[in-house]
Amino acid sequence: MGLHPDVEKAMKAVELPEVQKMMKHLAEYGLAIAVPHMHDTQGNMVPLPSELVGVEAGLRVSFKDKEDPAATVGIPVMWRWDGQMEVSSFCYSCSRKRYHRDYSCT
């Protein structure tokens, strides 16, 4: 399995003191650092394109266009910065309840 250069750069960054400082600060809020990624048809890790989000349901992850209504149902569990904060991954239960920005459920 190969690594895209951007994924490799991100993985090496966790060794940098400034990233470890951010990691310690995030841990105070129950957060962590992740590499938004997916696997190509050869199994290589590649950056998750900005137009896609990961959707976890039933212990499976799929990728949806971020404009797809199915990609906005659930609890946001990963964010990234692309000029502004964006959700890059959602998780939802089999009940498929809709979670709102304040994480209330309808």
CA distance 71 to 15: 32
Domain around 56: 50-95
Question: Are residues 35 and 64 both part of a single domain?
Answer: no
One domain for residues 43 and 2: yes
Q: Which of 76, 74, 78 is nearest to 97 (CA)?
A: 74
Structure tokens at 29: 């809020």
3-state SS assignment for residue 90: strand
Look-up of token digits 């199915």? 70
Reading the chain (106 residues) residue by residue, the pLDDT tens digits are: 678 999 999 999 999 999 999 999 999 999 999 999 999 999 899 999 999 999 887 778 889 998 888 777 778 889 999 899 998 998 876 444 554 455 445 5
Lookup: tokens for 79:
């964010």
* Nearest CA-CA partner of 48 in 75, 79, 18, 84: 79
Q: What is the pLDDT of residue 47?
A: 95
Is residue 68 located within the same domain as residue 89? yes
Residues 75 and 41 in one domain: no
